[in-house]
A and B are shown apart, each in its own frame.
Chain A
Amino acid sequence: MFIRRTATRAIAIAGAAALVGLALSGCTPSSGGGSGDASQITFLAGGNDPVAIKTAKDLVAGFEKKYPKINVKVNTRPAGTDGDNIIKTKLSTGTMEDVFFYNSGSLFQALHPERTMVDLSSQPWVKTLSNDFKQTVSVGKKVYGAPFGSTFDGGVMYNKKVYAKLGLSVPDTWADFISNSQKIKAAGGITPVLASYGDTWTAQLFVLADFANVSAQDPEWASKYTANKAKYVDPPALAGFQDTADVFKLGLMNKDYASLTNVNALKLLATGKAAQYPMITVTIGNLAQSNPEAVNDIGYFANPTANGNSHATVWEAGGAYIPKTTTGGKLSAAEKFLAFLNSPAGCDIQNKASAPAGPYATTNCKVPADAPALIADEQKYQDAGKTGLALEFISPVKGPNLSQITVQVGSGISTAAQGAALYDQDVKKQAQQLNLPGWN
């Protein structure tokens, strides 16, 4: 009896185990296997807007034509904070695609590149990089990223036709900007200042694009900020939050500000239904796709300041990276992909897929003659020496909730000062997680 019971018991346990085992072995995901097979790599595009998708697909098509044996699968991700979070999650859980596009500068630094990414210092294209860019994708002496796209500026994109029709001139001070906006409002039928909180990242623009002005007033601000000695609640940095609150308080925004999306806002700007849009100029690529006839009607000016002398905030080109989890045949395929990206052929594709919004970071790439007109506006600030890098390139401190906080400020839920204080707190969490000195 005893033996029989033990035997049946064993069978039953084995059965239960087999059921689990079946579940375990019967359905391993397709991605796990096939590491010896180098012919397929995955590639995470830099966003999910039309241009990001088109650029990625065109690059892959060009690459696959050159290397017919390698197959590249494109995945997409959202832009802004959501995208930042997805990238971090993928890297920390070892689930990143074989090649991925992401910001350079502090957002790149926050990914612990030395721990999560493949060192690319010995790649042949590294020699062609501008020094500014090389720094934004390096840790110590090691280069981890290839440039992707052009540099671009943040500030206000405006419709030149509307400005001409109403006889307005480009503002340098915040008072001029507001008076322009009020004239546009008085003219009727045209939105003075576009807000598109349907894509929450767009709400940050006044704060982010004002940074060159902050640097101009206090060149040491960024390093003080990194050391926990300068805060957004205090001037000069508070100005960006005040701007965000001002345009709401004065009723200068479109009525559907809470649900409008970036792509649709650009269409309104292109068609002259709206006059001004605090934005990064890289979005001209999207506008070129939806309203090609209007590309050259769009101009750019730097974020206006209280006392004039406004400076343009510059973003370096984005980066293309390979995570450490990519090895063997996939790694060499991924390296080929980066090399292609920075070859003249790859540049042509980038130029065609998205209108460049500024100069390139590699000498292999040239801005074509028919580039959008707002590049000339950006160039004026360059020539006058009135530019400054965006904060994310000179300080690793960046909180994940700036977009939500600026939405609060920009829809009157909290005041500029409250918003700035909130963001200072938000940043504290991140600085502590990064273990920066001076924050504990």
Chain B
Amino acid sequence: MMTTTSIAPAAAAAEGASRGKTPRRRGRMKSFYPSWFFIPAVALYVVFFAVPTFASFYFAFTRWDLFTAVPIGFDNFVQFFQDPQLLNGFIHTFEYGFATSAVKVVLGFAIALLLTGPIFARGYLRAIIFFPVLLSTIGVGIMWKSLLDPFHGVVNAALGFLHLPQPGWFTDPHLALVTIMGVDVWKGVGIATLIFMAGIVAIPSEYFEAAKVDGASGWKILRTITIPLTRPATATVITLSLIGGLRSFDLVQAITNGGPGFTSEVITSVIYKEYQAGYFGLSTAGNVVLFIVVTAIMVPLTAYLNRRSVEL
């Protein structure tokens, strides 16, 4: 899912908008903004999201087959950190989340700089880089799996033609996860680029003009103006790609299904396999682990990113 946007900035904007009215008028209008407007959404949220989430904290401590749940204490979690499949998945999730996020920030920023500067065919370039964002992830996975086929694929044919080594992209145990991350970046860098472009364009041009008058070099302008002033965009890109990366499932499923062996397993693919195998308690424990990982990373991170943006 790409249903994420910068969280705090939007909230800040909303706060700003609601300030500056006289208390009397606001008080009178209050009854026209009934709180029961929350009810339909809250009902959905509670039933289909909150209840299962809370229930997961019970079922994660059971051996469960949907009919009966036998409480077994921390066994599922012990299992999780003993079993190499699960442990691999756990570690890979971090690698995947942080690596893809970092690459998207750097690459997205670089491309955005290029596309906001003087360049020919800007519209075309922007469109072509963004388009993969809208594609089906499974479709993209299938496409790249064929292109990167170690023996028949187009990529290795081209490499062979140039007398370069032809790696086993998704069949080499050391490379499979990296390949998937590469495809993830290919698909997702467009959105990072777009966000950085919006951030760069929003910097008032007087800053750049003043810097040029002062004779600042391009590098200095980049360091002292562009990078600091696109901090909100950076925060958005990091948040967005981390949430996406830590929860990534479709690409792994489409390209390697966790293989070869367990070398490209991530938590979500493990959750799915345990579910398929009928280990519902263990699968739910995986869900709880993912929950903890994601919140443990995202909550302090969003707090940090937002504080920094306020200081500026």
Contact = CB atoms under 8 A, between A and B. Distances in A.
Interface stretch (A84-92, A273-281, A356-364, A384-392): A84-92
A200 B259 contact: yes
Interface in B246-280: 257-263, 273, 275-279
A288 to B, nearest CB: 26
B260 A13 contact: no
B118 interface: no
Contact of B84 (A20, A400, A422): A422
A411 interface: yes
Contacts of A422: 84
Interface in B52-103: 63, 65-67, 79, 82-85
B276 A88 contact: yes
Nearest to B258: A404
Interface in A414-440: 414, 422, 425-426, 429-430, 432-433
Contact of B36 (A9, A407, A426): A9
Kindly name the residue among A16, A82, A432 whose own CB sees the greatest number of chain B CB atoms within 10 A. A432
A150 B71 CA distance: 43
Interface string B207-228: 0000000000000000000000
B66 A93 contact: yes
Interface residues of B, number: 34
Given A85-B273, A88-B278, A259 B151 contact: yes
B173 interface: yes
A97 B150 CA distance: 38
B173 A411 contact: yes
A256 interface: yes
Contact of B260 (A82, A411, A425): A411
Contacts of B123: none
Contacts of B257: 200
A426 to B, nearest CB: 8
Contacts of A20: 40
B173 A9 contact: no
Contacts of A258: 150, 168, 171-172, 260
Nearest to A403: B259
Interface string B158-194: 0000000000100111000000000000000000000
B39 interface: yes
A104 B273 CA distance: 23
A405 B282 contact: no
Given A256-B151, A258-B168, A425-B83, A405 B261 contact: yes
A197 interface: yes
B20 interface: no
A16 B167 CA distance: 56
Nearest to B66: A92
Contacts of B263: 408, 413
A343 interface: no
A13 B168 CA distance: 58
A197 B260 contact: yes
Contacts of A432: 63
Given A259-B149, A429-B282, A89 B173 contact: no
Contact of A408 (B83, B168, B262, B277): B262
Interface of A: 9, 13, 16, 20, 82, 84-86, 88-89, 92-93, 197, 200, 255-256, 258-259, 400-401, 404-405, 407-408, 411, 413-414, 422, 425-426, 429-430, 432-433
Interface of B: 34, 36, 39-40, 63, 65-67, 79, 82-85, 149-151, 168, 171-173, 257-263, 273, 275-279, 282
Which 3 interchain pairs have the tightest Cβ spacing? A258-B171, A408-B261, A85-B276
